[in-house]
Structure 1
Amino acid sequence: MANGNQVDVVTIGESMVLFQPMPEGTITYAPLYAKSVGGAESNVALALSRLGKRTRWISRLGNDPFADIILSTLAGEGVDISQVIKDPENQTAVFFKESKGYGDPNVYYYRKNSAASMLSKQDIAETWFEGAKHLHVTGITPALGEYTTEMIKESMKQAKASGLTVSFDPNLRKKLWSEEKAKETLLSLIPLCDIFMPGLDEAEFLLGEKQEADYLHLFQQMGPKVVVLKLGTRGSLIQYGQEQKKEEVYKIDHIVDTVGAGDAFAAGLLSVILDSETPLADESLNKSVPKAIKRANLMGALATQFKGDWEGSPTLAEVESLAEGKQHTTR
């Protein structure tokens, strides 16, 4: 839980209220829906909070009951929501998710002209980064509105100027913008971050088809000191300084829902790297990266074991027990 103004990680982005049919099935014939909260940046904040990190989530929300659901959920998990802007003119977004029992679930967003899509660099305040160590952003927020790209760019610049380290997950959402605009914008954000964490498909989208190791080198040349390439069922690759490491996937028997796995991966990685007072120093990375990438793979795998974006996120004690191969005591 955030202590005063001191936080480890700040995230900026849109969260929405998620509705899912219950019992599980298609939207068309569902008589009832379960509600929860979803959003890439808040997923990371929530997962990090459960891992013992102090987090702050920043956004714009409407003056409506959906905003109240989001705020009470995040506050209840210890996330600092003091910098959230209430927008009296625009509404909080919602989305629906349905599973048909095969493949990834279908997701339907209702976020056009939402309060979060109205975020602009004029909203940025010094208090956003007050007492913080790190900023985490994704490629979703720049796609939301007319001014959100400039807001994210300026936030990354101001965070760095204030001494924060910055991580960036491209989190490509082709439904939100044209591929040309997405590629141009995402590439422009890479030089502004210290830790870049694309998936293999996103790397190919940005740079074309190349060898996996080449992606790491090419992205690193753009500015980030640490580049992580998520390989799905084949684990992940990480490049830090001149060092490169491959980490095998954490094996699971059955996938329930893949949504939120990338956010859990990011939380796992950052939760270890940010334990150091100088997280990007070579000596610090040499110590933290082996544990960080292992935890990231573990967190990503665990996220596929439950419905919902973050609800099943483990505590630090649970993660450490699993990492050590121990059985968590439940009774």
Structure 2
Amino acid sequence: MPPSFSVFTIGDALITFNPSQTGPMRYVPQFERKVGGAELNFAIGCSRLGLRSKWVSRLGKDEFGRYIYNFVRGEGVNTEDVHFVEGYPTSLNFKEIREDGSGKTFYYRYQSPILTLAPNDITEEMLEGINLVHITGVFLAVDPKNLEIAKRVLEIAKQKHITVSMDPNIRLKLWTIEEARKAYFELFPYVDILLTGLDEIKLILDSSSEEDFVNLAKRYNIDQLVIKDGANGSRVYYRGIWFQKEAFAVKPVDTVGAGDGFDAGYIYGYLHDLHMEERLAFANGVGALVTTVSGDNEGLPYLEEVWSFIRNEAVIER
């Protein structure tokens, strides 16, 4: 039976170079080529969970661009609105991974192909049959005009009564917190599900008060305010009640992409109407599994793996 729900996302993609060993990047002798990008990771995560997934982007007309395109198609993601452009090299990043699994990312995305995408490239037809639109702050940070592109997507989504989710995914290497706040607050009125890290919402509101978190949701009519807190688990504010779920104990080797995986898991739970606590547990499970594999999206699990993991029905071998 084909999947019954479709998700849409838009954003840059990169060739990610993973280090051959842990430690400061300047001491790493070799790197392995991978594929990355927050929105792309989300699209792949959804596809592996059995959702129909559509990703809109631009790639350099070069070998790296072709590699990304073929990789994404192989994951079952709809790429009909992904196009190659001349004169804009496919973006790169290099990862640094420390012994505890934490890491840093160094971007080389000057003249990214996504810069050629314009608001008038977004059509109503692109969102036909879509159940949910997912936007992240990474796309917004790459270029100032991307805010207008995102607004165009979200305006169409609202006209079509499509649910909107957003992950602020703050990248302070790409813009300032002041620039980020301005963009986020312009988009919050469109958002139904806000998926944010605890550190991120503290930065956005310049506050650690739970009351301020709730007031944000109420002010913008955000139906579900989801807060990710890594090893401390996650929680969601929904209709006046906080629901929470503890994290799963795993030994992380690479935390990059865990938040994107969590988002895909939560959206799967939302679309399949799981109870709030089960929805959080499912998302926590996806995020945990991602951290057990090196790479941005290699650890994104398939549906049966997630259920086996969170129900302790089987040992996940990776």
Q: Under a length normalisation based on structure 2, what TM-score does the superposition of the two structures give?
A: 0.93
The reply to whether residue 229 of structure 1 matches residue 216 of structure 2 is no
Aligned equivalent of 1:162: 160
CA contact (8 A) 1:118 1:146 kept: no
15, 34, 37: which one pairs with 1:36?
34
Matches for 1:98-247 after TM superposition, within 5 Å: 98-102=96-100, 104-212=102-210, 214-247=212-245
Aligned equivalent of 1:272: 269
Distance 1:121 1:255, change over 3 A: same
- SS of the aligned residue for 1:229 comes to strand
Q: How many residues align?
A: 317
CA–CA distance in structure 2, aligned partners of residues 2 and 19 of structure 1: 34
The reply to whether residue 258 of structure 1 matches residue 234 of structure 2 is no
CA–CA distance in structure 2, aligned partners of residues 118 and 198 of structure 1: 28
Aligned equivalent of 1:315: 302
- SS of the aligned residue for 1:90 comes to coil
Distance 1:96 1:210, change over 3 A: closer
Q: Alpha-carbon deviation of 1:174?
A: 0.4
Aligned equivalent of 2:78: 80
- SS of the aligned residue for 1:98 comes to strand
Q: Alpha-carbon deviation of 1:198?
A: 1.1
Aligned equivalent of 1:297: 284
Q: Alpha-carbon deviation of 1:300?
A: 1.4
Moved over 4 A (4+): 23-27
The reply to whether residue 57 of structure 1 matches residue 55 of structure 2 is yes
Aligned equivalent of 1:327: 314
CA contact (8 A) 1:92 1:116 kept: no
- The percentage of aligned residue pairs carrying the same residue is 37
- SS of the aligned residue for 2:298 comes to coil
CA–CA distance in structure 1, aligned partners of residues 142 and 316 of structure 2: 43
Q: Alpha-carbon deviation of 1:143?
A: 1.0
CA–CA distance in structure 2, aligned partners of residues 92 and 72 of structure 1: 14
Q: Alpha-carbon deviation of 1:98?
A: 2.2
CA contact (8 A) 2:205 2:212 kept: no
Q: CA RMSD in A?
A: 2.1
CA contact (8 A) 1:135 1:165 kept: yes
Q: Alpha-carbon deviation of 1:222?
A: 1.3
CA contact (8 A) 1:2 1:80 kept: no
Q: Under a length normalisation based on structure 1, what TM-score does the superposition of the two structures give?
A: 0.89
CA–CA distance in structure 2, aligned partners of residues 151 and 304 of structure 1: 32
CA–CA distance in structure 2, aligned partners of residues 146 and 221 of structure 1: 25
CA contact (8 A) 1:16 1:95 kept: yes
218-227 or 50-59, which deviates more:
218-227
Where structure 1 has 5 or more consecutive residues not aligned to the other structure, the ranges are 277-286
CA contact (8 A) 1:61 1:67 kept: yes
CA contact (8 A) 2:119 2:149 kept: yes
CA–CA distance in structure 1, aligned partners of residues 220 and 106 of structure 2: 34
Q: Alpha-carbon deviation of 1:32?
A: 3.4
- SS of the aligned residue for 1:71 comes to helix
> Deviation digits for residues 164-216 of structure 1, max 9, x if unmatched?
11100000000101221111111221111110011111111111223235413
Where structure 2 has 5 or more consecutive residues not aligned to the other structure, the ranges are none
Distance 1:118 1:145, change over 3 A: farther
CA–CA distance in structure 2, aligned partners of residues 318 and 230 of structure 1: 21
275, 278, 294: which one pairs with 1:288?
275
CA–CA distance in structure 2, aligned partners of residues 21 and 243 of structure 1: 43
CA–CA distance in structure 2, aligned partners of residues 113 and 24 of structure 1: 30
- SS of the aligned residue for 2:200 comes to helix
